[in-house]
Structure 1
């Protein structure tokens, strides 16, 4: 834990004295790719929403965004605060502050999508469902229990599992429609969130690996057993959640493949071996094409846009997961 007070003197953060170069690189990457949902013209998707999507498709869309809002709320209100208590230096704490704020931006972005596309009664119904759905609440409470009661390393595992695995049952839907040239501006927001989450998962996974490598062999085996047990538990619940959401639209098996692929990515961010046989070649190519390094909108007046290149803090790309 960072000690800010030393012999009665409050310690100012000194970015000229870097204990870990990845703290500085991650801070710079996250600030360079700063964005807000208000810059994306979501209303341009109303024609698709009203004319191209049927009632079932719109319901699935609302449910997945209700689930994502719940998980981003958890990450912004409890997750990063929990991890910040275990920060080993002031720069790491600052990076986690940045991540916490952007998780709040993500959660707020879903509300902007809801507000643009739905009537108030539909929004209220979606949030009522999210607050009481058995499988969504199970994974939120499971992760939060680790945040509140776990060790510093366990908290990092929970965070990476949340951001690199559990979010992706929700991300599948907008990426699928993006691949079919629908709901393009909503997909822009999702791609910006994906860009953030990729850096978050890589950074926190790296911090986990530092601590994990300091453990004895016996302690490492104990941690790995706990980690894989947690993943199995979350996967079992996520399968039920995916059936609940996607059976009505016939996408369940494709979504499960996508989830297994991202579960492997989460494990690799943590420096562990992948668990599932699924790789990028088995994921629906329409969805994989949506996970790219380019976006279509740009603010030419301010010079701050959401076109981007993935930074060096990205330890792995899709090719790393192919056989």
Structure 2
């Protein structure tokens, strides 16, 4: 059976046009456009995502890229031993970062977080639970960074060793400050409250995952949803703005997310999550894994420089926490 035939059988749409598009296929019907996207997620993981999408719709939040189920309600399609999900496809406009638009973005994200609470359980869903992962990551970062600083001979390339030693102290400082906040018992209180609310978050809520579509804001990339504290989403969003404008007033922006429940610890928690140098940490893990490959060292050097240059905005965050 061809893909067109299978699509017609399972979704009931007559295809007017079909073309390969990135990691899937773009379908045009008489009424709309759809993207059949290949995914590595398991059926149980897709069921969880689809359940979250349905929950948002039930709570009147509808401006996001939705999974379109088959005629019998299945949120995925198996074709040639590959798993696909069908999503709505719209023409997207990037969101301009301005003071006026920022107020709209914060209101939009707050509406999403309001609609994403009180999630009910779903049969067959594999839930992605990420509570407390930032604290675990921070501990692992601190352990690795201090070990490398004390044992630089773990890196065989002299040039690579020098650039790591010249950048690692700053990253240790970021992690130490973040750990002070993440090890506070109030972090567990925030987690406990989020668990009681049974809230899921976007997971990758950077400004580039919010688009304008027919004059309205719309959430894209809705496949990384997870059970976690909303501060993680806020941190991801604010971090994406700081990468655009390092002089952006991040503290004022964070306060706008808390209409009634603002406290200083939540602001510090968001800043701690922004401080954590995940890219630097990930790269150092690769360097240690491939430390015997001399040919890889030059590429790693350039990546370290690039990451550290991008992270320079963190000095202001660190200063605000002292």
- Return the TM-score normalized by structure 1: 0.24
Normalized per residue, the structure richer in strand is 2
Q: Relative contact order (alpha carbons < 8 A, sep ≥ 6): 1 or 2 greater? A: 1
Q: So what's the TM-score if we normalise by structure 2?
A: 0.24
Higher fraction of helix? 1
